[in-house]
Amino acid sequence: MTLRANLRCAAGDFVVEAAIEADVGRPIALVGPNGAGKTTLVRALAGLAAIERGTVSLDGTTLDDPTTHVPARERSVGVVFQDRALFDRMTALENVAFGLRARGVRTNDARQRARELLHSMDVEHRAHAKPSQLSGGEAQRVAIARALAHEPKLLLLDEPLASLDVRARSDVRALLGKVLAGFGGVAIVVTHDPVDALTLADRVVVLERGRITQAGSVDEIRSAPHSLYAAELVGINLFTGRLEPIGDGAAELHVDGGTIIVSCPPDITASVDGVTALLRPADVVLYREQPSAASARNILAGTIRSIADDGQRARIRIDTSPPLVADVTPASVTRLALREGVIVWASFKAVEVRPQLPD
C-alpha cells in the first residue's frame, strides 16, 4: 500500500507544492518550521481541503486529480488533530466509537471495539470521562484511538505531542512508536521536534515555505542537509557564505555573523558565493580558558545558550559568531563545569569543515 501525492494546494495566499510518496510500515516524519505549510498539506491529504493541481492516490485509488475529489468522509483516513478536536459533549468511549457508528456499525459492536482500543492505549479506565476531564496525555491517547478505530489506510498525525508536558510527551511518544510499528497503513507524522522525527519515523520530509527542501533517511539528511533547518534538525553545523581561498589548501568562509577557516577544495582559486560547509558537532572542542597554542585554526569565544543531555552525549549550543553546536560527553560537562551562561572557547580544525560547492 502506497500513498502517492504530487500536488499544489493553498490556504489563503499561502501555497504548498509538494510531492510525497509513503509506504505501509514506513512512517514518514513531515518536519519544518512554523508556517511551513505542514498543516495545509495534511488537510489536503485528508481531503478536508481541495487541491489546486496534481494528484493524490492511496493504495492504487485516485483520491484527487483534475476531475476527482474524494471528500474526507469517503477516504479511509484517520487524523489526529493538532489540538485533538475531541467531541466535548461525548465521553471518551463515544469519541472513539464515533467513526464506527458513523459508518453504520451497531452501537454495541462499536462500543466494544472502542473499549478494546482504549485498553490498548492504557486509558480504558477513563472511558466514561468527558474530554474536559481528561489530562493532556489521556486526551491524546483518546484522540489516537479515535483516529485508529475505523482502521484507516492513511493515518495523519498533526503535531501529536506538541501540546503535552515533558513527562506525558515521552509516555505518549513511546506509545505512538508501538502504534506506528503495528499500523497496517501509511502513516505521516507532522512535527517540529527532532526527537519525534528521529524516533517515530523511518524517513524525514523537510517542508519549508511551502516546498519540500529535502527528503530521505535521517542518515542521508545528517550526511548532507540541504538547509539550515535540516542541519539543525539532525544536529549538524551548517554554514553558508562566500568562500575566499587563502592558500595552503585553506580558505576563509565569510558567513552571517563571522568568518571561519575551512579546507579549500583544490580546484578553487577565486572566491565563490553561496558555498555551504558542514561541521559535525562532535568535531568541536570546548575549553574553559582561551587556548594559547592550539593546532586548530578556528577558535571562537561565546556563551553557552543551552545544554541538552540525553545520557550519552550532551548537545551544547553556543552563541559564537557564527553560532555553533558542539557534542561532548556528559563527563566533560561535569569536568569543565559547563552550564548555561558560561563563556567557553570552541575550536575546530579547518580540515574538519567540508565545503560543498553550489551545483
Partner 1 sequence: MSARASLPTTVKVLAAIAIAVVALPLVALVARAPWSDISRLGEPGPRTALLVSIEVSLAAAAVAFVFGVPVALVLARTSFRGHSVVRSLALLPLVLPPVVAGVGLLAAFGRRGLAGRGFAAIGIRLPFTTGGAILASAFVATPLLILTVEAGVRALDRRKEEAAETLGASKWYVLRRVTLPALAPSIVAGLVVAWARALGEFGATITFAGNFRGRTQTLPLAVFEAMQTDQGAAILMSLMLVALSLVALIALRGRFLAR
- Using CB under 8 A, pick the residue from 53, 61, 66, 103 that binds partner 1: 103
What is the x/- site pattern for partner 1, positions 34-53, by CB under 8 A? ------------xxx-----
Q: Does 146 bind partner 1 (CB under 8 A)?
A: yes
Three-class DSSP category at 357: coil
* Cα–Cα distance for residue pair 285/301, rounded to 1 Å: 12
Place of cell 568535531: 283
Kindly state the number of chain residues that form the binding site for partner 1, as judged by CB under 8 A: 26
Task: Name which of 95 and 214 has its Cβ closer to partner 1.
Answer: 95
Nearest CA to 212 out of 238, 188, 195 is that of 188
Identify the bridge partners of residue 238 per DSSP, sorted by sequence position.
278
Nearer to partner 1 by C-beta: 18 or 46?
46
Helix (H) or strand (E) holding 39: helix 38-46
- By CB under 8 A, name the one of 26, 73, 106, 335 that touches partner 1: 73
CB of 266 to partner 1, least distance (A): 56
Distances (CA, A) of 60 to 3, 24, 63, 68: 8, 13, 9, 14
**CA-CA distance, 101 to 106, in Å (whole number)?**
7
> Which residue in the set 102, 246, 282, 357 belongs to the binding site for partner 1 (CB under 8 A)?
102
- Near partner 1 by CB under 8 A: residue from 35, 53, 61, 89: 89
Confirm or reject binding of residue 71 to partner 1 (CB under 8 A).
Answer: yes
Q: Please answer whether residues 78 and 147 qualify as being in contact, where contact means their C-beta atoms are separated by less than 8 angstroms.
A: yes
Q: How far is the CB of 351 from partner 1 (least distance, A)?
A: 53
User: Read out DSSP for 127-170?
Assistant: TT--GGGS-HHHHHHHHHHHHHTT--SEEEEESTTTTS-HHHHH
Contacts with partner 1, 275-314, as mask; x by CB under 8 A: ----------------------------------------
Q: By CB under 8 A, which span of 65-73, 197-205, 291-299, 333-341 interacts with partner 1? A: 65-73
Binding-site ranges for partner 1 (CB under 8 A): 46-48, 71-75, 77-79, 81, 83, 85-89, 98-99, 102-103, 146-147, 149-150
